[in-house]
Structure 1
Amino acid sequence: MDVLQVLHMNGGTNKTSYSNNSALQKKAISIGKPIIEEAVLSLYCKTFPQTFLGIADLGCSSGPNTLLVVSNIINTIAHKCRQLGHPLPELLVFFNDLPGNDFNSIFESLPTFHQKLKEDNGEDFGPCFIGGVPGSFYGRLFPSRTLHFIHSSYSLMWLSQVPPGLDSEADNMSNKGNIYMAESSPPGVFRAYLEQFQKDFFLFLRSRSEEMVSGGRMVITLLGRASADPSSKECCYIWELLAKALNDMVSQGLIKEDKLDSFNIPQYTPSPTEVEALIKLEGSFIIHRLETYAVSWDPDQDKAIHQSVGFDQLKTGEKVAKYMRAVAEPLLTSHFGEAIIDDVFERYKDIVSEYMEREDAKFINLVSSIERK
């Protein structure tokens, strides 16, 4: 699998698009908003940039969430400048994602975005220069010392590649029947995923350290886990249920077994300890906050609501299946072809519905706020 080419969210605005199925990601952004604002204010009051302020959203994807984050960052800075009687520095805003991302939808939204900034901050607001930067953030993207603030949400759990060797016949490496780390995966699979994450995350930090100014801030939110166990349900089970749907299709002759055995998800959901260790090892950043919080698989409901007003399991299962399709469809299509997609997610919807009827299913989000030394 060439991750650089096939990893992107579903573009457009149809019913299976990421734009229309990203409420979970919006929930994460909403919870993390105070941490972002705190980091932005600390950055500005420490560095007082006079000429320009460089902002980057890495792994920006597309849809309403993309511009929401940057809008909040800009409004926070503009408000602080007005409070202090400072002129607003020129703003350089960069949206980054892999080349397959739907950048066109972002650019089409920019006139409305600029108009909203003026409504919020006055007609004399500006200038604000915006550009798209396609490419992997596991490497350099920007000139040295050009960025003051970096944001990334729900992106850094994606790896630069599927860990090598997962389709090996060796007993400690073969991930047969699974598509991700699972309880039944052998120890070598967990080790391969961790090593790939360590390599990628270290390179990410080292690249950003060269691009950021001293005192610059970065806030990262990604799916992770609170447990030390890498096979914990809190980080892996959403993929195990998709593997179940695919295995059902194998048993019915709709997918070839060897095709499934050669498919693995390029993702790793780290623990806070693993993230902290890598930040300290790279050595360029000070950790201000490193926290976890839980979000329901269905971001509009929680267990208490289920119990008090009733739980519509089919509706919830359909919602989860839709946002997982918006994320995973390009990966599945590149490996299995388009013909299976509707069938696999119809099965997945039913499997998820049944699971969520008996379990209070939650994701663990890990958020870090760090400063460039």
Structure 2
Amino acid sequence: MASSLLPSPTKHLRPMQVETILHMKEGLGDTSYAQNSSLQRNSIETLKNIIINSAVDVYISQSPEQFTLADLGCSSGPNTVTVAGEIIKKIGGLCHKFSIPAPDFSVMLNDLPTNDFNTVFVNVPQFVESLKDYADTDEWGHPSVFVAGVPGSFYGRLFPSRSVHFICSCSSLHWLSKVPIGLFNEIGKPINKGKMYISHTSPPEVAKAYYKQFQGDFNKFLKARSMEIACGGKMVLAMLGRRTTDHSDPSTSLLWELLAQSLELLVSHEMIHQEKLDSYNVPFYAPNIIEIEEEVRKEGSFTLDYIDIFETNLNASGDARKDGRVLSMAIRAIQESMLSHHFGGEIIDALFNNYSELLIQSMEREAIRSVQIGVVLSKL
């Protein structure tokens, strides 16, 4: 392709408005998030017992007539109501065991306004019916379950004051509210050229900008939730993180490095301009445990009940070609909206063909591992 036929390098250089652009791939097609969210499901499974037990602890301590739980960053795939359903079953079974009426359950499903809530709502009747069927077999009566969608950024208020008993958020809080400022110099030139996240070759200012953005965002998140959660309520948070103080820890940077290399291949084939790649940065940050603990301490509204690291081998089947393709499709379902906004949708297929091959090559050399941090917080 002749370079003169390339889209203008400035066409998509306007600032990315994360709240209106970031969303998982909608629908039920082959490239949709609904069909490519097994990695997130595995993450939920890792923390499922912690999530359920934390919610049950809140119910036991407060015994409300209405129990309100919220999922922040619910998306629209098969994982959307899984955790809520397990919590409702557990509390309902507990009520049956002690011969007390089960509470009404209010389930609040939150994500950004561009989320595919239509797919969520279509599946709600089936979800409620499945709980009724379970209740019949378990003999604790038909639960009253009310489900609502709550569009909006969780970096601001979402619910009335002291109205929520339990909140969980899985695979969401590593997304920032915006691309950090400070990634361009005083004359507007990008300082993290050829990279889209923190790399071992990035200038120190890049890591500082990302960390500062995380600090501000996580503080806003905690402050908003502190007003919404009833005293004694809990939150369970699970986010991608890193083990070390090194911001370019391979457990979080490798997948971004390979995606940047995939874009470099498109530059070499004159499918995109180098300037477009240089100016693309993701609104993402993977904290370590120390950084999370520090922000919880500074905000002051929650006690930290539990925090730990969980590591997942992404070479799940041992077949590098199969695992590489699965991982590529999963990343595509997450990233496509932002990449299409910046580079144009016409490059997506070629980009992820490249990405899949690079992932396969990397997995053939060594296992790719993902680090997740699980956190349990109690409202003071």
Structure 2 length as normaliser, TM-score? 0.93
- Aligned partner of 1:162 in structure 2 is 179
SS in 2 for 1:328: helix
- Aligned partner of 1:13 in structure 2 is 28
Aligned length: 362
**1:246 and 2:294 equivalent?**
no
Matching residue's letter, 1:269? A
- Aligned partner of 2:38 in structure 1 is 23
Q: 2: distance between equivalents of 1:41 and 1:151?
A: 13
Alignment deviations for residues 177-213 of structure 1 (CA, whole Å, 9 cap, x no partner): 1011111111000000000001000100000000000
- Aligned partner of 2:374 in structure 1 is 367
- Aligned partner of 2:108 in structure 1 is 94
Which deviates the most, 346-355 or 83-92? 83-92
**Percent identity at matched positions?**
42
- Aligned partner of 2:355 in structure 1 is 348
- Aligned partner of 1:119 in structure 2 is 133
- Aligned partner of 2:219 in structure 1 is 202
Matching residue's letter, 1:322? M
Residue 338 of structure 2 is aligned with which of 331, 343, 356? 331
State the Cα distance separating 1:171 from its structure 2 match. Answer: 12
**1:187 and 2:204 equivalent?**
yes
SS in 2 for 1:66: coil
Q: 1: distance between equivalents of 2:81 and 2:93?
A: 18
Unaligned 5+ runs, structure 1: 307-311
- Aligned partner of 1:152 in structure 2 is 169
Moved over 4 A (4+): 169-173
State the Cα distance separating 1:61 from its structure 2 match. Answer: 0.3
Matching residue's letter, 1:36? I
**1:43 and 2:58 equivalent?**
yes
State the Cα distance separating 1:163 from its structure 2 match. Answer: 0.3
Alignment deviations for residues 83-108 of structure 1 (CA, whole Å, 9 cap, x no partner): 22221111111100001101011100
**1:110 and 2:131 equivalent?**
no
Q: 2: distance between equivalents of 1:110 and 1:6?
A: 25
Q: Is the 8 A contact 2:190 2:278 kept in 1?
A: no
Q: Is the 8 A contact 1:216 1:371 kept in 2?
A: yes
- Change in 2 beyond 3 A, CA 1:249/1:169: farther
- Aligned partner of 1:61 in structure 2 is 75
Q: 2: distance between equivalents of 1:322 and 1:3?
A: 21
Matching residue's letter, 2:184? D
| CA RMSD of superposed structures (Å) | 1.5
State the Cα distance separating 1:111 from its structure 2 match. Answer: 1.2
Q: 2: distance between equivalents of 1:180 and 1:43?
A: 38
**1:32 and 2:47 equivalent?**
yes
Q: 2: distance between equivalents of 1:158 and 1:249?
A: 26
Matching residue's letter, 1:23? S
- Aligned partner of 2:230 in structure 1 is 213
Matching residue's letter, 1:83? K
Q: 1: distance between equivalents of 2:39 and 2:186?
A: 37
SS in 2 for 1:20: coil
Q: 1: distance between equivalents of 2:125 and 2:103?
A: 21
- Aligned partner of 2:301 in structure 1 is 284
State the Cα distance separating 1:170 from its structure 2 match. Answer: 7.9
Residue 323 of structure 2 is aligned with which of 306, 316, 329? 316
Alignment deviations for residues 316-346 of structure 1 (CA, whole Å, 9 cap, x no partner): 2111110000000001001111110000000
Q: 1: distance between equivalents of 2:322 and 2:43?
A: 21
Q: 1: distance between equivalents of 2:298 and 2:280?
A: 32
Matching residue's letter, 2:151? P
Alignment deviations for residues 225-250 of structure 1 (CA, whole Å, 9 cap, x no partner): 11111100011110110000001111
Structure 1 length as normaliser, TM-score? 0.94
